[in-house]
Amino acid sequence: MSPDIKNLKMLISDVDGVWTDGTFYKGTDGQEFKKFNVNDGVGVAMARAANLKIALISGRHSEATKYRAQELKIDDVYNGGLNKIPAYEELKEKYDFIDSEIAYIGDDLIDIPIMSKVGFPIAVENAITKVKNISVYTTKVSGGYGAFREAVTWILEKQDRLDDVIRIMKEKILNN
């Protein structure tokens, strides 16, 4: 029996290749720069309005990732571990969730171990074929171009909650 998306409680995402197009820039002083898409920030707000927990698990340590997560008030950030399973298990224990209550968005080989466990593996358009083959949904846009937001929108549509979330967000905007 496949999991029911209405029971989804958490969305975990890779960063490089999902929130970014995988490109980063290094200055001569070693400072790293990444391009993030504002639409993914809106996706975070949408997920929050739907009471979905959000976490990032990146295989590569990056201060830019840490800073972006702080900006978006994403508390659960695992930055710099190629084996993502320990972070995943820690999140499950912290929130007392089971695999079928979690979605994961990924694009590459190191995402497959988690994607093979979660109830809702999601691939971005630029993901490798092996990741797309195990996914229940593949975004139409590539990582770095609003793929996280598209995934959140897809989840909320499948849960029949998108209109409610949009209404909640409009009310918050009007009340500020």
Mean of the pLDDT values across residues 36-56? 96
The 10s digit of each residue's pLDDT in 83-123 is 999 999 999 999 999 999 999 999 999 999 999 999 999 99
| Res 40: pLDDT | 97
Query: HSE of 39 in the Cβ direction (CA atoms, 13 Å)?
Result: 16
Provide the whole-model pTM: 0.94
The 10s digit of each residue's pLDDT in 141-164 is 999 999 999 999 999 999 999 999
Is pLDDT above 90 for 176?
Answer: no
Q: Which of 151, 83, 161 has the alpha carbon at shortest distance from 123?
A: 151
Mean of the pLDDT values across residues 123-143? 98
Mean of the pLDDT values across residues 21-33? 88
* CATH no. for 5-174: 3.40.50.1000
With beta carbons less than 8 A apart as the criterion, state whether 92 and 98 touch: yes
Is pLDDT above 80 for 138?
Answer: yes
Average pLDDT over the chain, rounded to an integer: 95
Round to whole Å and give the CA distance between 13 and 79: 12
| Res 88: pLDDT | 98
| Res 39: pLDDT | 96
Confidence of residue 175 (pLDDT cuts 50, 70, 90): confident
Confidence of residue 30 (pLDDT cuts 50, 70, 90): confident
For the record, the structure tokens of 152 come out as 């959140």
Confidence of residue 173 (pLDDT cuts 50, 70, 90): confident
| Res 1: pLDDT | 66
